[in-house]
Chains A and B, each alone.
Chain A
Amino acid sequence: MLSFLARRLLTFVPTFVGVTLIAFAFIRLLPGDPILLMAGERGVSAERYEQLRQQFGFDQPIWQQYLDYVAGIFQGDLGTSFVTKRPVLDEFMALFPATVELGLCAIILATLIGIPAGVIAAVNRGKFFDQALMSTALVGYSMPIFWWALLLIIVFSGWLGWTPVSGRMGLVYFINGPTGFMLIDSLLSGQSGAFRSAVAHLILPTVALATIPLAVIARQTRSAMLEVLGEDYVRTARAKGMSPVRVNGVHALRNALIPVVTVIGLSVGTLLAGAILTETIFSWPGIGKWMVDSIFRRDYQVVQGGLLLIALVVMIVNLLVDVLYGFINPKIRKG
């Protein structure tokens, strides 16, 4: 297990270097002068230009620039937003909990429904329930979520008036809580109705964001189960007189979970991609919306820093998934 972890960590390093290279190259690949680009549309005077050139080290050789950039990363310096004048890392940290809260709710919803649905479909293979479930899953999987989110708004906010259209919290509440998770902070704040408001704001974005992972998890669980159900050890379990619930839910599912966990881990990337669209549509103040806004504002230091940080998050999650994978797969644990 330890050597497995060590090997896994080793592959982390080159990927990290590659990611920093891409983020570093980003600003330099933009057509036009990076300083003028970063300065935005207002432009800069000649002295200011020279000053900025030196400040960002564009007068240095390119490898020196890269080394400085990486050194900066390790000191937590990811540049400063040209729009807000705040450090990119600070902005990220302020917005990140909103995305985590949304993403976690979505992945929990997707897992809680997706795995049982996939198991039941696999066990009832070819029957009506399987076909209905898998057709629904395929529709979910094919869903353009930017459109799906708009439909949800039309129906639940427009026609039914059940849920708010955007944001994280009703305007009457002021929550600036310790965790950054609105569900927890609103409870801690003790303001009546705040928690309800937080939940109401969370529902539609969660459903929109969970749709594709839910479909993917259900489909993956079903196919992993189908594969496992044909294995000899499932026959052995049945030969021992085990009930179908135990054969499917313990003997088969335990093995089918191995690929499913991978898929859940991989859907973190999908989730962040989905968050870009979902957060934009629901004006959810998370990093997805922050990135899109920054691209449009040409706030390239933010885009560069955000790119790096998001890639880092994905890499860390993938690492955790691999560790978890080791825990549920005895062949790796003891091997």
Chain B
Amino acid sequence: MALLEIRNLSVEFATHSGKFRAVDGVDVTVDEGELLAIVGESGSGKSVSMLALMGLLPWTATVTADKLEFDGHDLRKISARARRRIIGKDISMIFQEPISSLNPAFTIGWQIKESLRKHTNMSRSQRQDRAVELMRQVGIPAPEKRLQAYPHQLSGGMSQRAMIAMALANKPKLLIADEPTTALDVTIQAQILELLTDLQKNSGMALVLITHDMGVVAETVQRVQVQYAGQRVELQEVDGLFENPHHPYTAALLAALPERATEKRLPTIPGVVPGQFDRPQGCLFSPRCSFADARCIAERPTPAGHDLGYALCHYPLIDGQPTGKENAA
């Protein structure tokens, strides 16, 4: 049974100049103990869909979904109070900016123990022991001392470890890591990723890794969901995805990886993700797609089947070649 199941999730933001649809009919399924990556450029609605799940979006956001279920709870109908019993306990989340994600006015220990006090009935000394244990688990040296430190006294990598410790405090069933390494030094990035995947393997929790880095994906995850402009464009096992991407966007992302470059010049994807004012009528990727034709510009595609990676494309790629063009023409 799926631990998390999201069907047709949409998020709209009210802005000065009208509504902006940040997430557009996305499906996400995560099984227990699984490691899923959500990949896409900035602005592809990766974080927003997860924040919607957590109930952390600002009041300007409107969330709609056909299904939004976690561990048997329907999160669409759940009361705010009941949601808060799940959030921070069974689902926890870590964020892109570890330094600003920790409250500068309180010590690390205070912030970890606060989570324990909320969701467990441990005594004061038990909470202290658990906090030390957590700090050790995430590889922070001299944990007793670090618990008394303020966030500004910690480096970025240390802060992210502290954030992970805090997220793990109540042994969650699902950890959502929102670009956990983007703001860190390259050398630290690998360490944090390794820490996260080790924790996932050893504790049996599910991990959703949100990233824009295909390199990260290749090394760590099992299944990959590719998002573009608020839509899911492809979902595949990681091996299949790298071998045979079915959506032109995935293919372009992979081609842009230095390791896979075949020519002297690294290929890029021309243009940017459409924003509020330049959303195409048809396929959202059509302005940047090298295979796009008149149909792509005019018509919205529907997802293909399982063996084509649910590719959201009129002409899903097989071995790098678009299919189905002949029928359409």
Contact = CB atoms under 8 A, between A and B. Distances in A.
Q: Per the CB under 8 Å rule, do A and B touch in the complex?
A: yes
A241 B87 CA distance: 5
A240 B95 contact: no
Interface residues of A, number: 21
Interface in A208-255: 231-233, 235-243, 251, 254-255
B101 interface: yes
A329 B106 CA distance: 10
Nearest to A235: B56
B92 interface: yes
Given A238-B56, A241-B89, A233 B119 contact: no
B83 to A, nearest CB: 8
Given A232-B95, A238-B56, A334-B153, A243 B101 contact: no
A141 to B, nearest CB: 27
A251 B100 CA distance: 13
A31 interface: no
A330 interface: yes
Interface in B74-88: 81, 83-88
B66 interface: no
Contacts of B152: 330-331, 334-335
Interface string B146-176: 0000101100000000010010000000000
A334 B89 contact: no
A232 B86 contact: no
B105 interface: yes
Contact of B104 (A238, A239, A241, A255): A255
Contact of A239 (B81, B88, B106, B119): B88
Interface of B: 54-56, 81, 83-89, 92-93, 95, 97, 100-106, 114-115, 118-119, 150, 152-153, 163, 166
20 contacts: A233-B101, A233-B102, A235-B95, A237-B103, A238-B55, A240-B88, A240-B92, A241-B84, A241-B86, A241-B89, A241-B119, A242-B88, A242-B114, A254-B103, A254-B105, A329-B105, A330-B150, A331-B150, A331-B152, A334-B153
Given A233-B101, A240-B115, A241-B85, 9 more contacts: A231-B100, A232-B101, A233-B103, A238-B55, A239-B88, A241-B84, A242-B118, A243-B84, A254-B103
Closest 3 CB pairs of A and B: A241-B88, A240-B88, A233-B103
Interface of A: 231-233, 235-243, 251, 254-255, 328-331, 334-335
